[in-house]
Amino acid sequence: MSGAPDEGDRPPGFYWISVAGGSPEVAHFVEGEWWLTGADSRVVDEIEVLIEQSLVPPTLRNRFA
């Protein structure tokens, strides 16, 4: 993924995901849910759009319900 930090820069078990108009965010898939680190309301809004477009798993929404 272009613009993503080097894989060596993330903790084990974490993954980089991109949100529209923003830098890649660190996400962690735990027990069927995606968890973002350092997410703010802008990121959450963008994730909602990506979920609606089926570009990220719907379980990501559960983290912010």
- Name the token pair of 19: 């949100």
Q: How far apart are CA 6 and CA 63, in angstroms?
A: 25
| Residue 17 to residue 26: CA distance in whole angstroms | 6
Which residue type does 5 have? P
pLDDT at residue 58, rounded to an integer: 64
Its pTM surpasses 0.85:
no
Write the pLDDT tens digit of every residue in 7-59: 445 555 555 565 555 555 666 656 666 666 665 556 666 666 666 777 666 66
DSSP labels, the chain: -TTPPPGGGS-TTEEEE--TTS--EEEEEETTEEEESS--HHHHHHHHHHHHTTSS-THHHHTT-
